[in-house]
Amino acid sequence: PNRVKGLLAAEKKKMARIVVDVPVHDIIVGNGEGQVPLKKVRTKMLKLPRVLTGPQVTTTNDRLRAMGDLMSNMPLPKGPMPKGMRMPRGGKMR
C-alpha cells in the first residue's frame, strides 16, 4: 500500500497535465483500511460528482486515448545502427 501511493501520485500528476480542467480522483482497491473492496468500486464511482458534459467527455476521452497511444510506442534509439551483431541461433542445445 505504501508504494502504491507514490505511483498513484505520479500518475495523478501526469493525468493532471493532460486533462487540465478535469478532477482526478484516487480509488485504491483492496480490503485494508482506506481501501475500497472490489465489489463496491462501481458504487463508489457512481457516487462521485459528475463534472463533465457530453462533448467534454468525448474530447477528454480522445485526448487520453491519444496520449496512451503515444506513451505505448517505444522510441527508436538514436545513433548509428549496429551492423556487426550476430543474431542468436535458437534450437542448438549442447
* Ordered DSSP codes for 60-91: HHHHHHHHHHHHHSPPPPPSPPP-SPPPP-TT
Residue 30 lies in a domain: yes
Q: For residue 47, give the amino acid letter.
A: K
Band of pLDDT at residue 1, cut at 50, 70 and 90: low
Give the domain range for residue 29. 1-51
The answer to whether residue 6 sits within a structural domain is yes
Answer whether residue 67 is part of any domain. no
If one counts the domains in the chain, the total is 1
For 62-84, write each residue's pLDDT tens digit. Answer: 888 887 766 666 666 677 766 66
pTM given for the model: 0.58
The verdict on residue 61 lying in a domain is no
